[in-house]
Amino acid sequence: MLHELGLPTALQWLADQMKKNRLTVEVRLGTSQLPLPESQALLLFHSVRELLLNIAKHAGTQHAVLTLDVADQELRITVQDRGKGFKISTLEPSQPAHYSGVGRGSRVVEVSAMIVS
């Protein structure tokens, strides 16, 4: 589905699927078309999926907001909730993440993340 419909539509589908986890996701798409290589779209899709599942399991809330926006050739995906949060100081450094969807020859994707709790 991601390959045929693109990342914005796939994220909308994912948000609808989160109802099975008792999580209602409000989706705000700033674009309906996003030309991305499949490996990058897959990385972003699975990252958002993991964030939403973590909200469903741990945040103690039943509502989240997923925003996808493009401005000045920068893609921004934001996942927000009003859950119970956690102390960032309690996080332990971990090994770098491995994403199986990105293979040899793929362009490097610059990703920055900010955790606000």
Q: What is the pLDDT of residue 103?
A: 41
Q: Which stretches of the chain drop beneath a pLDDT of 50? A: 97-109, 117
CATH C-level class of 2-90: alpha beta
> String of b and e for 96-114 (b: at least 16 CB within 10 Å)?
eeebebbeeeeeeeeeeee
How far is residue 114 from each of residues 25, 54, 78, measured CA to CA in Å? 20, 16, 10
The whole-angstrom separation of Cα 100 and Cα 47 is 12
The whole-angstrom separation of Cα 117 and Cα 83 is 9
The whole-angstrom separation of Cα 78 and Cα 26 is 12
Q: What is the pLDDT of residue 52?
A: 96
The whole-angstrom separation of Cα 49 and Cα 17 is 10
Parse the chain into domains and list their residue ranges: 2-90
User: Does pTM top 0.85 for this prediction?
Assistant: no
> pLDDT tens, 49-63?
999 999 999 999 999
DSSP letter string, 15-66: HHHGGGGT-EEEEEES-S-----HHHHHHHHHHHHHHHHHHHHHS--SEEEE
